[in-house]
Structure 1
Amino acid sequence: MAQPEVLLPEPDAAFEALTLAQRHQGASAMEVIAAARERYGEGLAMVSSFGAEAAVLLHLVSRVDADIPVLFIDTKKLFPDTLRYRDLLVERFGLSDVRTLTPDPADLAAEDPAGMLWMGNTDACCDIRKVRPLARGLKGFDAWISGRKRFQASSRSDIPLFEAEGGRVKVNPLADWDPSDLRAYVVEQGLPPHPLVAKGYPSIGCMPCTSPVAEGEDPRAGRWRGQEKTECGIHFALPLENEQGAGI
């Protein structure tokens, strides 16, 4: 499956993202989140996988404002451990507005009736189970908080604190954090780890497409192992909004 067409940012969003990135250069992650909340108000959401590193950003967001909507994509292919971990963090951090996004039953019936699409076309499976649900869930929001970090992959090495994608601004408070920063914050705040991390899963996605990582391997080597695929697609321009020239 060809990657979705990447649309050029609309000038207003591009200018705003650049201005915010310059204004908040050197700011802490909490300061970046607080600035985004002040700027966008109820038009700001956070997207979280409740994966291996998710507790750090979720905790930071809760310290700024636990009422910020958190969008969680339940692909119906997740590890049960991830669902239990989500419930634990929601209660622990007092997150008051976690919205679970799921695939459209009509899409599943038409394109993945047996639930086995991942075996032959992982891009199409991600599109149905992650990309489309998120596009629907983000309607009405002007900006969203992402947990992406520059160290995670070569495709993420130049992530700015604020970036434009179509008509929205994406906020990346942890862009310049490295693994030692994450570990230090987890210890300092006493955050609970995802239970699969101790079993060799430093990066956690859907159960069929995530495997343990051996010592010395890249942390994301267990995602879509054996394929050139490195991203699920939610960080490309998304469908459902492209008719208006907007993507996330």
Structure 2
Amino acid sequence: MSIATESAESLSIELAGLNAGDRLRLLREHFGGRLVASTSFGLQSAVMLDLIAQHAPDVPVVFIDTGFLFPETYRYAEQLTERLGTDLRIFHPRFSAARMEAVHGKLWEQGKEGGDKYSVITKVEPMDRALRQLGADVWISGVRRSHSSTRIDRPLAEQQKKTLKVYPILDWADAQISAYMHDRGLPSHPLADHGYVTMGDWHSTKPAVDGLDAEATRFNGDKYECGLHLDSGNTDFQI
């Protein structure tokens, strides 16, 4: 397999005719050391990590540790990494959790503006740094269209500033994710049985109770995207 062109539009068309495993193999064969993946160890992260372990095991996987994740998420990360042999690269914000709160206050309680600033500090800047340090300009993500309304129209590949982003399971439905996890015997995130339908930091993620939809369970409904999958607007970042 070979990629005729590296344009996001052409790559999307080429990937559309392949299954997820073949998509990963094609990307690995073509982009080699320019390639990196990411994980949040969220509710369904095991699927993408398992696919990488099977079809592109030497691709480094970046984990952004915000310092505010649920204890269950940290334990889940250890469990999956050990099981799958993931080449995990952990990156942290330049601010520790205590320092950030002391300097900026509880940004997650400061509406959308505070939430956006929080996202840049704890997610966008560390991921941008990871890409630079690893020499990567092609980023594999487990984003799926069914996650939120902001992702419905995403293509399989898109250019975000200097980074080519690729989503091998973008078109997978929730039922396909569940079936894959069952067939592969993958463990679920511990909080999946406690009403959580999406996963993020402990202070800005809550269970889907009282009729809340997934997007309303993050940042009190002020926002859903953490910032990684949106143009940061910062000209110094490559994402």
TM-score clears 0.5: yes
1:231 counterpart = 2:225: yes
Q: 1:33 is matched with which residue: 24, 47, 69?
A: 24
Residues in 2 aligned to 1:238 and 1:212: alpha-carbon distance in whole angstroms? 28
Q: How many residues align?
A: 230
Query: Would you identify which runs of 4 or more consecutive aligned residues in structure 1 move more than 4 Å?
Result: 106-112
Normalising by structure 2, report the TM-score.
Answer: 0.89
Call closer, same or farther: CA 1:201–1:106 in 2, change over 3 Å.
Answer: closer
1:179 CA displacement: 0.5
Indicate if the aligned counterparts of 2:91 and 2:126 stay in contact, CA closer than 8 A.
yes
Residue matched to 1:52: 43
Indicate if the aligned counterparts of 2:148 and 2:214 stay in contact, CA closer than 8 A.
no
- Residues 84-95 of structure 1: pairs in structure 2 closer than 5 A: 84-95=75-86
Indicate if the aligned counterparts of 2:64 and 2:123 stay in contact, CA closer than 8 A.
yes
Call closer, same or farther: CA 1:86–1:221 in 2, change over 3 Å.
Answer: same
1:197 CA displacement: 0.6
| Secondary structure class of the residue paired with 1:225 | helix
Most deviating of 119-128 and 78-87: 119-128
Call closer, same or farther: CA 1:132–1:64 in 2, change over 3 Å.
Answer: same
| Secondary structure class of the residue paired with 1:135 | helix
**Gap runs ≥5 in structure 1:** 1-13
Q: Deviations over 1:197-228 (max 9, x none)?
A: 1011110000000001027542333111242x
Indicate if the aligned counterparts of 2:62 and 2:91 stay in contact, CA closer than 8 A.
yes
Call closer, same or farther: CA 1:115–1:82 in 2, change over 3 Å.
Answer: farther
* AA of the residue aligned to 1:27: L
Higher relative contact order (CA 8 A, sep 6+): 1
Q: Deviations over 1:58-102 (max 9, x none)?
A: 00011012221000010001101101101100011111x211110
How large is the Cα RMSD of the aligned pairs?
2.2
Q: 1:125 is matched with which residue: 118, 121, 132?
A: 118
Structure with higher helix content: 2
**Gap runs ≥5 in structure 2:** none
Residues in 2 aligned to 1:59 and 1:112: alpha-carbon distance in whole angstroms? 39
Normalising by structure 1, report the TM-score.
Answer: 0.86
Residues in 2 aligned to 1:147 and 1:225: alpha-carbon distance in whole angstroms? 24
